[in-house]
């Protein structure tokens, strides 16, 4: 199964991406994770990425395309994948379509996580992650047992630099300008499935399960 997950920052993409990838036995490929890993490694490319990511701006298409093309060549992607945070612009979507046509691996579905703007700041600002094992929490919706400490491995929980309210607002603006046009791009290709993203991760996950079984609408 080859799936793309679209949604504004704070719409629950990452949480659902992990659930779907686990349930379907496919890799979750997140350009945000790849970019954060390059930043953490301190490579010259990582330093370039940081300039954009810290401000909530998109990394230029050519750099992201080079990164994702490398990742899609890995063996674990041949039997399917879930793309989380990619594509985010029309040129990225067009490049992906070209690769997949060439490889004879069309997309099965594009999920559009719908969450009203009013819910995004609270969701994004409360997010915490463990830099050691990657577990994620939310101070209100999925708190760790001990404040600031990972339930899984006991390391300190951190907040992403771009989850501050002002940066989240920038990211939502960038989404509306650059990423929202992908909804029509995929709707016109009969791939888009709208998902109500409000509710518990289980409730949203159940809606996704149903949507993935359904034929796409007109
Ligand atoms: P995310 O974790 O998906 O919210 O991504 C974090 C940041 O990485 C974004 O705010 C961008 O700066 C960058 N990024 C991730 N994916 C892309 C993409 N497909 N195109 C451009 N920039 C991206």
Residue 192: what are its φ and ψ, rounded to 5°? -80, 135
Our answer on whether the CB atom of 162 is closer than 6 Å to any ligand 1 atom is yes
Tens-digit pLDDT profile for residues 97-155: 999 999 999 999 999 999 999 899 998 899 999 989 989 999 998 999 999 999 999 99
From 2, 18, 160, 164, the catalytic residue: 160
- Flag whether the pTM goes above 0.85: yes
Please list the residues that pair with 111 across neighbouring strands.
5, 193
Ligand 1 center from residue 58 Cα (angstroms): 6
158 half-sphere exposure, CB direction, 13 A CA radius = 9
Our answer on whether the CB atom of 171 is closer than 6 Å to any ligand 1 atom is yes
Distances (CA, A) of 140 to 17, 72, 77, 124, 144: 20, 35, 35, 11, 10
């Amino acid at each position: 199964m080859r799936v793309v997950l679209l949604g504004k920052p704070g719409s629950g993409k990452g949480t659902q991406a992990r659930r779907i990838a686990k349930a379907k036995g496919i890799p979750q490929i997140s350009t945000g994770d790849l970019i954060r890993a390059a930043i953490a490694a301190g490579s010259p490319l990582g330093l370039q990425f940081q300039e954009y990511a810290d401000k909530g701006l998109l990394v230029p298409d050519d750099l992201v395309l080079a990164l994702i093309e490398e990742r899609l060549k890995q063996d674990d992607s041949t039997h399917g994948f879930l793309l989380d945070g990619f594509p985010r612009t029309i040129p990225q979507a067009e490049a992906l379509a070209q690769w997949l046509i060439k490889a004879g691996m069309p997309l099965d579905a594009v999920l559009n996580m719908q969450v009203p703007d009013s819910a995004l700041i609270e969701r994004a600002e409360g997010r915490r992650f463990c830099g050691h094992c990657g577990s994620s929490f939310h101070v209100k919706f999925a708190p760790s047992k001990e404040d600031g400490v990972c339930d899984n491995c006991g390391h300190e929980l951190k907040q992403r630099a771009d989850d501050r309210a002002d940066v989240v607002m920038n990211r939502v603006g960038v989404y509306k300008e650059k990423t929202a046009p992908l909804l029509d791009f995929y709707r016109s290709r009969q791939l888009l499935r709208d998902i109500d993203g409000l509710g518990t991760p289980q409730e949203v996950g159940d809606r996704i399960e149903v949507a993935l079984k359904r034929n796409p609408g007109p």
